[in-house]
Amino acid sequence: MKKLSFILIFFILAGSLLRAEEGMWIPLLLKKYKIEDMQRAGFKLTAEDVYSVNQVCLKDAIVIFGGGCTGELISGEGLLITNHHCGYGNIQKHSTVEHDYLTDGFWAMSKGEELPNPGLSVTFLVRIEDVTDASLVGVTASMPSVDREKTIQKNAANIQAEAIKGTSYTAKVTPFFNGNQYFLFVYESYNDVRLVGAPPSAIGKFGGETDNWIWPRHTGDFSLFRIYAGADNRPAAYSPNNVPYKPKKFFPISLRGVEPGDFTMVFGYPGRTTEYVPSFVIESQVNYSIPASVDLRTKRLDVIMAAMETSPEIRIQYSAKKSGIANTWKKNQGVLLGLKKVNAIQRKLDFEKRFQQWADADPGRHLQYGSILEQYKDIIVKQAPFELANTYAHEAGEAPEIIGFAGRFESLIDLAAKGISPEFQKVVDNNKAGIASYFKDYDAPTDQKLLAVMMEAYAKGITPDFQPELLKKIAVDFKGDFEKYAKSVFETSVFANQDELMGILNNLNAKSVKKLANDPAFMMLKSLRKLQTEIINPGLSRGQGQIPELQRLYMKAQMEMQPEKLFYPDANSTLRITYGKVDGFLPADGIEYRHLTTLDGIMQKDNPQIYDYRVPEKLKKLYLAKDYGQYASNNTVPVCFISSNHTSGGNSGSPVINAQGQLIGINFDRNWEGTMSDIMYDPDLCRNISLDIRYALFIIDKFAGATHLIKEMQLVR
């Protein structure tokens, strides 16, 4: 097992078939496999400077921000920068019509003005360890995949417990290469994180959904937070007595800017990629689930955006929701475009033909790998209609908020049958606690329209055998008039009325619990759950248990087939390094994109008639006066740049670092054609989009007047 584990860490011989820009590399293995390539590409630091458990290094300045972004420290007083869209939910929570921080921005002019964010945490990586051998103790080649997974999970629990014994850390053993290798990650989290600054959305979301995933870009996508700790600099629950965290490391900030060909490194937490799946997995997504998702999200966005135009309050309530829906909607369209442009499915098919020839050329390989693709494809093809049904259940059935909100009370209704108990009362109290925050960002008329539109789309978009029974009944009872159905739901449902719902929870009895259980929103939820448990899940699970094992063997076989290739593992929300260079690209015949955008481009896009392109008056005045301070370059201010780093979701907010280890930008997006890099990276087409740090500093200093924050930072000229 040790020999096999060593082989599967990475294959590295004289050369690599991968372009230097491709790949998401494990920091622990940098010294052994990648640092020399990085240095040849221009990097001036050592592997120990990037990742070390023995000395302070760059990884000590990087955090998981919240649940799905990256952030980095930029001062010795715990000041942290991430994307505006990463901080958006927390900015929105603090916003009201009277204090509209989304529209106007927010800047704390002293530490006393910084705003706490309950539930927000940041997490530092303490160390990484290869635990493949320990994870596979007791695992044999002949054991069933279910037993294999149980054995590994048991081993992982022991490894994790031992790793954090006597500490306040958390630990997680994570599979790599589809379960052919395992690493332990030890973390430390801080839970007192306060909002320090955010530009107005006219800067932080300039271009809105129109420009999202698009180059050229002119978005000031950043926000500032500060980590607080106890007097001992250790994690502590929120307290007014907490003090700014003193980091081991923070990034110096370069004012030198970027030029084509400059080395760039992105250091962060990419979410999930599937670079090594076979063609039929991609084909199923391209033909079924992705187009359905795009269509259903289009319908949702049409309703929400129309409502947001009618009222400032609704605009605030639905800003974060709209962005969340639109982000995936826009990205998925780019994925379809990019996969088609690079002929991804055919490229996979060509590889699979070579793979099958390799597997069949040797009796031992044929026995072990010869039928993998056939078995795998059979499962995927049979699952396709159930995957589509699953997409409709989530993207249409659960899209109206009232249905998901009703689902919060499912455990309360189930427990009520057992009588009042401490457990029951705890569930009641938990439900009460979330009601006010839910209704703060909820508009019933908007949701009523959503219910009508999405249920009609559900009824017309998929065959009746994959629809919830209640939906089929409604279509008959209301003669296809889903607006009439939605009106009846909102006239009778307690989940649309905050006061009525609180009244029921304050006076629970058998009658009121029955009212909740028979509520039309809850009944639709139950019908959706029944569809999921009786039809969709069984259809998916018939082969679902085999897929991880088939993918593990297929991954193992790919690596054996190509011993000359240096493999990188798929992203799985663990810390990774990706490196490349500042570089433009050619998206189509006759079109060439430069590497940089500037403040001039913002002024060219200015359109007071369109919300997403309304440039703030103060920014216009700074532009007309050429009042750029130390952040100017060529008589303007750089705004965004592109480079060839291989990034994914989760890299939002990641530091973009130059050859000297200095901060030059904040990663926030990819070009539309290159969003397919989660499935297939193409070095000529895939680009990551970053905020030039000089634009962020210009906004903080000259626009917001928060010069005290600049003084905290270490600027390098």
Whether residues 96 and 197 share a domain: the answer is yes
Q: Which residues of the chain have pLDDT under 50?
A: 1-20
pLDDT at 510: 82
Do residue 285 and residue 250 come from a single domain? no
185 strand-pairing partners = 128, 172
384: CB partners within 8 A, 6+ apart: 284, 287, 288
Radius of gyration of the chain (CA): 27
What is the rounded distance in angstroms from the CA atom of residue 455 to the CA atom of residue 405? 17
Domain edge (last residue) among 212, 239, 255 = 255
Phi, psi of 582 (to 5 degrees): -65, 125
Amino acid at site 233: N
pTM over 0.85: yes
- Which residue, 80, 121, 45, 73, is CA-closest to 249? 73
Same domain for 166 and 313? no
Is 402 exposed, middle or buried, given 0-12, 13-18 or 19+ CB atoms closer than 10 A? buried
**Backbone phi, then psi, for 337, in 5-degree steps?**
-65, -45
Residue span of the structural domain in which 96 resides: 2-10+57-255
Of 530, 550, 570, the residue that ends a domain is 550
Write 294-299 long-range contacts (CB < 8 A, 24+).
294/329, 294/332, 294/333, 294/336, 295/457, 295/461, 296/391, 296/392, 296/395, 296/396, 296/399, 296/454, 296/457, 296/461, 297/325, 297/326, 297/328, 297/329, 297/395, 298/329, 299/453, 299/454, 299/457
Tokens at residue 491, please? 């006239």
DSSP 77-96: T-EEEE-HHHHHHHHHHH--
Please check whether residues 181 and 283 belong to one and the same domain.
Answer: no
In a domain, 507, yes or no: yes
- In total, how many domains does the chain have? 2
Q: Is the dihedral of CA 316, 317, 320, 324 positive or negative?
A: negative
Q: Is residue 694 part of a domain?
A: no
* Three-class secondary structure of residue 309 per DSSP: coil
In-domain check, residue 598? no
Does residue 193 sit within a domain? Answer: yes
- Neighbour-count burial for 298-330, b at 16+ CB within 10 Å, e otherwise: ebbbebbbebbeeeeebbbbbbbbbbebbbbbb
Residues 307 and 181 grouped into a single domain: no
Tell me if the bond preceding 216 is cis, omega within 30° of 0. Answer: yes
Residue 610 within any structural domain of the chain: no
Instruction: Compute the distance between CA of residue 241 and CA of residue 234 in angstroms, rounded to an integer.
Output: 13
Domain boundary residue among 550, 577, 612?
A: 550
Check whether residue 320 and residue 178 sit in a common domain.
no
Question: Do 232 and 320 have their domain in common?
Answer: no
Q: Which 3 state secondary structure label does DSSP give 683?
A: coil
Same domain, 365 and 283: yes
At 7-49, the pLDDT tens digits run 344 433 333 334 447 999 999 999 999 999 999 999 999 999 9
Answer whether residue 676 is part of any domain: no
Q: How would you classify the pairing of strands 655-657 and 663-670?
A: antiparallel
Tell me: do 452 and 401 sit in the same domain: yes
CB 251 within 8 A of CB 74: yes
Looking at residue 112, what is its pLDDT?
Answer: 97
CA end-to-end span of the chain: 52
Asked if residue 396 belongs to a domain, the reply is yes
Q: Indicate which residues carry an active-site annotation.
A: 85, 221, 652
Phi, psi of 593 (to 5 degrees): -100, 130
Q: Are residues 414 and 532 in the same domain?
A: yes
3-state secondary structure of 550: helix
How far apart CA 680 and CA 289 sit, in angstroms, is 18
Together in a domain, 288 and 235: no
Q: What is the pLDDT of residue 418?
A: 67
Q: Do 386 and 518 fall within a single domain?
A: yes
Contact 262, 84 (CB under 8 A): no
Report how far Cα 36 is from the mean position of its chain's Cα atoms: 31
Here the tokens at position 171 are 């630990």
Residue 103 lies in a domain: yes
Closest CA to 663 of 185, 79, 27: 79
